[in-house]
Chain A
């Protein structure tokens, strides 16, 4: 997967990150922070590999 523009989404009530928005292979997604989700699993793999970083939420 080619992942760009990864950014956390913050819960405005708890003020904690709970999802990630990213563009994957040209398609935008809102992605849950669950390793069973293929998109999130690949994001954390690429973060661990140093390929991408996840920007802080707005």
Chain B
């Protein structure tokens, strides 16, 4: 049998007493078969003292949870991060210019560095169903100094104020995303802060294995030097560089702490270029930007929520969607109000894509004649002036959109 030894300390003078509770039941305490110290309420319990699975703990029992690791609510600042919404088009071939070509909120800056098919691809990592795909179809020969090619999403200033920029409490921001690229190497990501001045901070991410989905996480410190605007202007820009000329690389290295906008560092950390070979592809999805220094699981929003968020920046009034009452103003214009899905960010442009308006009296306008009559930031109607008609002043007409959809662009 084992022996039991109770030994006093060699120098202490206190008396240690082992007591029993008042009980009529026999109890046995089994000591661990190891050397150690019994824990009390002053002991630390770090990860080395834990093994196995923790029991379930109710969130209601947790206190002092740091705000930057909150796992609920609208944590993702990125809109359409799962690449679900493509009001304009699912795919566009022959892309050589800048613009919002396919997926909502995702803008391409391309000054001619290659020709691409830009699409919403069904190729995505587990848990996602779409990705933004850039597929080079014509390679560029050599990049001019000012040429560049980048994908970006611009955040409205209103939506960045919670970061507390411009104060000593400016919060960290963590960006996570899945990326798949045909080349291995390093590409640069920039966070650009537009307010009273333009500032930037940058990082690189590495494609370790070609043609394989990889998750990347980048954390940036808060910008303590410049407060964000609190309005509907462009605030933070999340920018993934694909290629550039020397005008954006000559700075030598990326700017990895907040500082003034440095054009020549904007792609200084990339070791590969997307667009200089027809074998080049680059895909991204699951993009999340959240306050704090931890990348938590992607926040999947409902399709309807995501669509509504996108429609603040772009909406379509479908060809032949219905008739709208209007009033003739002068001899060639009908003013009417159209319904909006959600209030627009700002006074919109209308794409001149060949739409006409058909009015009561069975007559058509000439093409592309819509201009904004009046805009209200909180309204779900928009007054539009439809020109190009032959009408009688102050007579009521009903009109419909015909031939093409009316594209309403309020993007950043």
Chain A residues near B (Cβ < 8 Å): 1-2, 9, 12-13, 18-19, 21, 24-32, 34, 36-40
Which single member of B330, B345, B348, B368 contacts A32 (CB below 8 Å)? B348
B208 in the interface, Cβ–Cβ < 8 Å? no
Find out whether the CB atom of B98 lies under 8 angstroms from the CB atom of A32: no
Q: Which of B63-71, B247-255, B349-357 contacts A (4 or more CB under 8 A)?
A: B349-357
Q: Check B351–A36 contact: CB distance below 8 A.
A: no
Indicate if B97 sits at the interface (CB-CB under 8 A): yes
Chain B 329-358 per-residue mask, 1 if CB under 8 angstroms from chain A, else 0? 111110000000000011111111100000
| Residue in contact with B98 in the complex, picked from A2, A12, A37, CB distance below 8 Å | A2
Count of A-B contacts judged by CB separation below 8 Å: 70
Q: How far apart are the CA atoms of A29 and B351 in the complex, in Å? A: 4
Enumerate chain A residues within 8 angstroms of B97, measured Cβ to Cβ.
2, 25-26
Binding-face segment, B7-15, B50-58, B370-378 = B370-378
Select from chain A the residue with minimum beta-carbon distance to B352: A28
**A12: min CB distance to chain B, Å:** 5
User: Which residues of B are at the interface with A, using a C-beta cutoff of 8 A?
Assistant: 97-99, 232-234, 329-333, 345-353, 368-372, 375, 387, 409-412
Q: Given the known inter-chain contacts A12-B333, A13-B329, A36-B232, please indicate yes or no for A28 contacting B368, CB distance below 8 A.
A: yes
Residues of chain B within 8 A (CB-CB) of A32 are 347-349, 371-372, 375
Task: Tell whether, in the assembled complex, residue A9 and residue B371 are in contact, meaning their CB atoms are under 8 Å apart.
Answer: yes
A50 to B99, CA, bound (A): 23
- Chain A residues, Cβ within 8 Å of B368: 21, 28, 30
CA distance A27 to B352 in the complex (A): 7
Residue of B233, B333, B350, B352 touching A36 (CB-CB under 8 A): B233
Which of these, B233, B332, B371, contacts A30 with CB under 8 Å?
A: B371
Complex Cα–Cα for A17 and B233 (A) = 24
In contact, A29 and B352 (Cβ under 8 angstroms): yes
Closest residue of B by beta carbon distance from A26: B97
Q: With the chains together, A24 CA to B407 CA distance in Å?
A: 15
Knowing that A27-B99, A29-B350 touch, tell me 19 more A-B residue pairs with CB under 8 angstroms. Answer: A9-B371, A12-B331, A19-B371, A19-B372, A24-B99, A25-B97, A28-B352, A29-B349, A30-B350, A30-B368, A30-B369, A31-B349, A32-B349, A34-B347, A36-B346, A37-B347, A37-B348, A37-B349, A40-B349
CA distance A13 to B331 in the complex (A): 9
- Chain A residue with minimal CB distance to B232? A36
When the two chains form their complex, are residues A34 and B351 in contact, meaning their CB atoms are under 8 A apart? no
Question: Are B371 and A25 in contact, with the CB atoms below 8 A?
Answer: no
Q: Tell me whether A13 and B330 are in contact in the complex, defined as CB-CB below 8 angstroms, given that A18-B371, A21-B352, A29-B350 are known contacts.
A: yes
A23 to B387, CA, bound (A): 19
Known: A1-B98, A13-B329, A36-B232. A28 touches B351 (CB 8 A): yes
Roughly how many angstroms separate A20 CA and B236 CA in the complex, as a whole number? 28
Sorted nearest first, the 6 A-B pairs with minimum C-beta distance are A28-B352, A36-B346, A34-B347, A25-B97, A32-B347, A19-B371
Q: Which residues of B contact A39 (CB under 8 A)?
A: 349, 409
In the complex, what residue of chain A is closest to B110 when comparing beta carbons?
A25
Cβ of B330 and Cβ of A34 under 8 Å apart?
no
Inter-chain CA distance A28–B410, complex, in Å, is 15
Measured CB to CB, the nearest residue on chain A to B369 is A30
CB distance from A28 to the nearest CB of B (A): 3
Q: Which residues of A contact B234 (CB under 8 A)?
A: 38
Q: Is the CB–CB distance between B412 and A38 below 8 Å?
A: yes
Q: Report the Cα distance A24→B375, complex, angstroms.
A: 22
